[in-house]
Amino acid sequence: MTSKLSRHLSNLETEAIVILREAAMAFERPVLMYSIGKDSSVLLHLCRKAFHPAKIPFAALHIDTTWKFRDMITFRDRMAAELDLNLIVHTNKKAIEDGVHPIKSGSAIYTREMKTRALRDALDMHRFDAAIGGARRDEEPSRSKERIFSVRGPNHSWDPRRQRPELWHLYNTQIATDETMRVFPLSNWTELDVWEYILAEDIPVVPLYFAKERPVVERGGSLIMIDDDRLELEPEEKQQNVLIRFRSLGCYPLSAAVQSSAASVADIVEELRTTRMSERAGRLIDVDETSSMERKKREGYF
């Protein structure tokens, strides 16, 4: 059979499968972080290839803030059923009881409580010693500092000065009793690599990535989709239908759409070959403070 993968994608696939198998061998309780986005979809696909014909040997952990797009939750539950995933969904219920809100509380407090603290609590509750995620070095500056096997200190803290060398693809998986590991098999992939791989392997993704007329409000120069009746509009704001899609998915009040006519994976690949806009330009949590992402990662954010 002739492979649909280019040599470049085939090399990336092989590297990721080796990393997944290394993680399965080196740690007692690894877990697959499942954010439902395109990178998670690729990671799930690679896991199936890495351990075929056996089931994926990791549980899949989704940190549910309760503010994800409805299409994301529908897609998550469909994939969990189709792939027979051991899906763990964790929410910081105390933060919800305390009224933490993506807009009223501010994105910094919201992210700390609903994402970072929720993730740390879930990892501790289930005694996971390694969290495998789909983060890539090309996404934003602090992620470019990560190693593929990135050690975390007590309370899941990250210290860039403790990065370990990974020469000749030799990984140091040793951890002390108070340490855990983050593992990033897609570190060396770009956004374009991810979409070209999705195209070649026919991997299902959340429909929100494809252009469609959707209800939005323009807020602070960003197009925010109105996904349910919890988004309160300011007096001067008006709902309008715009042809949009998403390049990065998160909590809907904090994820801006882009105007686009790319309605298929092939269209997206073509669009990415010419765009100069950053992939995470629409993720409002990345820009709420100076060095925002690196500070969050030091506190235990994904």
Question: The domain 7-197+291-299: what is its CATH number?
Answer: 3.40.50.620
Distance of CA 100 to the CA centre of its chain: 22
Query: Cβ(125)–Cβ(90) under 8 Å?
Result: yes
From residue 84, how far is each of 75, 76, 88, 156 by CA, in Å?
14, 12, 12, 29
3-state secondary structure of 202: coil
pTM for the model: 0.92
Q: Where in the chain is the domain with CATH 3.40.50.620?
A: 7-197+291-299
pLDDT, tens digit only, all 302 positions of the chain: 556 899 999 999 999 999 999 999 999 999 999 999 999 999 999 999 999 999 999 999 999 999 999 999 999 999 999 999 999 999 999 999 999 999 999 888 999 999 999 999 999 999 999 999 999 998 877 777 889 999 999 989 998 888 899 988 899 999 999 999 999 999 999 999 999 999 999 999 999 999 999 999 999 899 999 999 999 999 999 999 999 999 999 999 999 999 999 999 999 999 999 887 777 666 565 555 545 667 777 777 77
Q: Are 149 and 179 in contact (CB under 8 A)?
A: no
